[in-house]
Amino acid sequence: MKTSTMADIKLQAQRASEMVGAVRAKMLAPSAQKNSPVFIQKEVAERCGLEPGQFSYRMKNSDLPPLPQGNLDPKSRRREFSLAETRTWVKEFRRNRLRPAGAEAVVISIANFKGGVGKSTTAMTLAQGLTLLGHRVLLIDADPQGSLSTLTGLVPDLDVQEEDTFMLLALGEEDSIRYAIRPTYWDGLDIVAAAPLLFGIEFNLPARQVKEMANGFEFWNVLNLGIDDVREDYDVIIIDTAPALSYGTVNALMASNGIIMPLPPNALDFASGAQFWTLFTDLTENLIGAGGSTKTFDFINVLLSRVDSDDASTMVRKWIIQTYGDKVLPAEIPRTVVTSAASAEFNTVYDISRYDWNARTYKRAREAYDNLVAYMEGVVRAVWLKNLSHASEAVVRPAVMEGV
């Protein structure tokens, strides 16, 4: 048996980092950057809710405000639209479904103690899907492993510095998260990235709590206050969390309107999920509740992810539904060759083209995520309308009292 020194481990870390960089360069060649997909005319029309003839009429009608015309591919003779052009069309025809005036971003945390359940993929695909419906989304990677950042084409060890993360917010050097926001390759989608250096918040936040407690500092409220400045800039803010109830995860949950837990239907993941809710409840009651604070979520949902059709999965799926009841989302994410291959290439189902796969296999994978996105858009709209209603009531009450 060969022993390993810290120098050996450091060398191993360097080799692993170099291999990730080499794999990334190969997968994303020749630019070493991710590129967003293009959409044919039929796909853009479908996303706008238009028949092909209606779309053609709108594109050619010079009496109406101009919309992007796309480009005719000389090889396929198909008219193609960039993601930005597609989103311009979608926003025009889905205006009544977009964020109403006066509403703020709905914040969603993707959380589970267990690694490998699909948290980062869920965060990324939900964000991409919402942008394809015309919304503007901010991703916040609160997991030092940086898997979500990797899905946007970044290599945490190489492309992400301290000022690109919410580390400076945790240190108290910044009051707003705005400094760390950067655009991604995907139109309408920005990110606050993560890297292993973000592990530092697990030491800095408790240290600040001890030093600044007399001044009312609350370590769990740092991210919540830090995103206040950008809530009106986005429709939805999605936070990917670490597979642990860490200081970063607690900050994410306390900043959120709602939680989505991806949960594969297998026994170990089911048991781990139960532990998550128990420990989270204990934390909020014993730590946050002791300080007189409280927290209410607009929604908490469980997403069945990586679903197989075998007997064991079917049995555990029944356990999950019996346990969580109406919290289980009506959309399920199946385990398919399309999603597995996409993950292996640092992609999601929205990054790949339907023409690269068997039509039926691609459709099954894509429809699962489209159903999730459509349902969650409805949830987000409900939160917007509820909060606007509460804001109106808050304005009316003082006016009524003044009249009395």
Tell me: the pLDDT tens digits for 141-170?
999 999 999 999 998 888 999 999 999 999
Looking at the fold, whether 46 and 174 belong to one and the same domain comes out as: no
- Asked if 342 and 348 touch (Cβ cutoff 8 Å), the reply is yes
Domain boundary (65, 93, 121) is at: 93
Looking at the fold, whether 48 and 115 belong to one and the same domain comes out as: no
> What pLDDT band is residue 401 in, cutting at 50, 70 and 90?
very low
pLDDT in tens, 277-287: 888 888 777 77
CATH classification at residue 285: 3.40.50.300
Number of domains composing the chain: 2
**Is residue 371 in a domain?**
yes
What integer is the mean pLDDT of 201-227?
A: 94
Distance CA 336, CA 369 (A): 12
pLDDT at 280: 83
Distance CA 86, CA 68 (A): 8
What integer is the mean pLDDT of 50-66?
A: 87
Average pLDDT, the chain: 87
Q: What are phi and psi of 71, to 5 degrees?
A: -135, 145
How buried is 373 (Cβ within 10 angstroms: 0-12 exposed, 13-18 middle, 19+ buried)? Answer: buried
**Is residue 77 in a domain?**
yes
Q: What are phi and psi of 236, to 5 degrees?
A: -140, 140
How buried is 211 (Cβ within 10 angstroms: 0-12 exposed, 13-18 middle, 19+ buried)? Answer: exposed
**Is residue 1 in a domain?**
no
Looking at the fold, whether 145 and 65 belong to one and the same domain comes out as: no
Q: What are phi and psi of 334, to 5 degrees?
A: -80, 155
What integer is the mean pLDDT of 327-332?
A: 94
Looking at the fold, whether 318 and 172 belong to one and the same domain comes out as: yes
Q: Which of 59-63, 94-98, 202-206 has the lowest mean pLDDT?
A: 59-63
Distance CA 342, CA 352 (A): 7
CA angle 140, 240, 341 (to 5 degrees): 115
Q: Which of 50-64, 152-166, 237-251, 364-378 has the lowest mean pLDDT?
A: 50-64
pLDDT at 206: 94
Looking at the fold, whether 146 and 256 belong to one and the same domain comes out as: yes
pLDDT at 404: 45
**Is residue 121 in a domain?**
yes
Looking at the fold, whether 85 and 142 belong to one and the same domain comes out as: no
**Is residue 272 in a domain?**
yes
Looking at the fold, whether 186 and 273 belong to one and the same domain comes out as: yes
pLDDT in tens, 5-24: 657 655 765 676 666 666 65
**Highest mean pLDDT of the ranges 71-85, 130-144, 323-337, 363-377:** 130-144
pLDDT at 207: 95
Domain boundary (93, 115, 137) is at: 93
Spatial CA neighbour of 105 closest among 256, 220, 303: 256
Range of the domain at 78: 39-93
**Is residue 9 in a domain?**
no
**Is residue 187 in a domain?**
yes
pLDDT exceeding 90 applies to what percent of the chain?
A: 61
pTM of the full structure: 0.89
pLDDT at 61: 84
**Highest mean pLDDT of the ranges 24-38, 265-279, 366-380:** 366-380
**Is residue 270 in a domain?**
yes
- Asked if 177 and 192 touch (Cβ cutoff 8 Å), the reply is yes
Spatial CA neighbour of 238 closest among 170, 344, 152: 152
Provide the token pair at 353.
Answer: 């083209």
Looking at the fold, whether 155 and 65 belong to one and the same domain comes out as: no
Looking at the fold, whether 315 and 294 belong to one and the same domain comes out as: yes
Amino acid at 308: D
Looking at the fold, whether 44 and 140 belong to one and the same domain comes out as: no
Q: Which of 107-116, 259-268, 285-294, 306-315 has the lowest mean pLDDT?
A: 285-294
Distance CA 172, CA 110 (A): 25
> What pLDDT band is residue 28 in, cutting at 50, 70 and 90?
low
Domain boundary (74, 93, 112) is at: 93
Q: Indicate if the pLDDT at residue 345 is higher than 90.
A: no
Looking at the fold, whether 59 and 170 belong to one and the same domain comes out as: no
What letters, b where the CB count within 10 A reaches 16 and e where it falls short, cover 40-71? bbebbbebbebeeeebeebbeeeeeeebbebe
Could you tell me how many residues make up the chain? 404
What integer is the mean pLDDT of 165-182?
A: 97
Q: Indicate if the pLDDT at residue 4 is higher than 70.
A: no
Looking at the fold, whether 346 and 366 belong to one and the same domain comes out as: yes
